[in-house]
Amino acid sequence: MLPMRPPRTSARPAPSRIRLVVSFVAAASVGVLLLGQAPVDSAPRTGEVTARQVTAVASTKVVLKRRKGVIQGDGRTRYVANGTEFRPRRTSVALPPRVRARSWVVVDLDTGRLLGKHRARARLPQASTIKLLTAMTATRTIAPRARHRVTRFEKSQVCSCAPIRRGRWYRRDALIKAMLLPSANDAAEAVAGSHPRGRWAFYAEMNALAQELGAVDTVAKNASGLTATGSHSSARDLVLLLRASLQDPTVTRILGQRSARIATAANKLPRRVWRGTDYVNRYAGSLGKSGWTTPAQNTLVVVTEIDGHRIATAHLGAPSGYSTDGARALTEWASENFRGLNAVGRLPLA
């Protein structure tokens, strides 16, 4: 007779392994509960949660349906309320205001921290806010005493609202004032036309400067910001352009003027122009530039100093009447909750 085999038995894991698995599952479950979210759809059906899945849950944005109130942050979770993505620290933070625009950002300009954003890198028509780039390009490539004779093409621009005359000679800074304050498109093209190598060389210089500043979402097809195929920027890029403008003494000085006197190079035909950016005219301690075209709608980029912090905000595609109010509401929200907000992104180093 063949010897009888011993009955088969199932091997049991060591008690220490059981404790290890239970501890791991419990810890992962607690991580999910701390986030205040249900496990992601890809979680195993057995109920086990791996470390990789916990990380995925932690990086998920939580969309809040309520429009007002506060949220208790954990320092990691990103929330979206009223369209704005933000990340509270381990403290209570008020929900951001409702903003009506296609894209926007609000930034701590001193550190480059994005405190809130909505489609910050969306490439959209930017209208006259591009004139910040035009002005900076002019101060870098055109001599201050250089003179330019206004051409028929320049004077024929839509919104020819500067008191400059076709066939007359003007100096660089007079044209920049007319371009930035009443946002004159004829003056903007006159600035481009005064480049030593011509208008198209000026446009190329504008795009090279945008790349140098890190504004990689920006393409300029003209100096004025009027609608042109392939011309666009982003809310994040507009803040970069404003930050660089504030480092240019000539541009900063002109942006800070409520009005300016414009005259020919021979000091004839003097006229006074007025700043047309409503936000800056309304709120002390602010600088910036607004714009409007039918495709772009209202655009705005401004910085406001509040309680020692320089808070910048940019809006693209705001319906009529909403860019100034939306920018102010977002600026005040960022100021009031400044210490309770972690970054949701950063600007490139200046």
**Which residues are within 8 A (CB) of 29 and not within 5 positions of it... i.e. 6 or more apart?**
49
Structure tokens at 113: 């921290």
What are the boundaries of each domain within the chain? 127-286
Low-confidence ranges of the chain (pLDDT < 50): 1-58
Report the chain's mean pLDDT, rounded to a whole number: 86
The amino acid present at 52, given as its one-letter code, is R
The percent of residues above 90 in pLDDT, for the chain, comes to: 80
**Model confidence pLDDT, tens digit, residues 290-346:** 999 999 999 999 999 999 999 999 999 999 878 999 999 999 999 999 999 999 999
- Cα separations (Å) of 343 from 89, 299, 302, 334, 339? 9, 24, 19, 12, 11
- Residue 147 has, within 13 A of its CA and on its CB side, a CA count of 10
Collapsing DSSP to helix, strand or coil, 26 comes out as helix
Calculate the CA dihedral of residues 205, 138, 287, 329 and round it to 10 degrees. Answer: -30
* Residue 181 CA to its chain's centroid (Å): 22
* φ, ψ (nearest 5 deg) of residue 109: -70, -25
pTM given for the model: 0.83
Q: Residue 259: which H helix or E strand, with range?
A: strand 259-262
> For residues 313 and 335, what is the distance between their CA atoms, to the nearest angstrom?
12
Instruction: Let me know: does 134 contact 226? Beta carbons within 8 Å.
Output: no
What's residue 320's pLDDT? Answer: 85
When the candidates are 3.40.50.720, 3.40.1350.10, 1.10.1040.10, 3.40.710.10, the CATH number that belongs to 127-286 is: 3.40.710.10
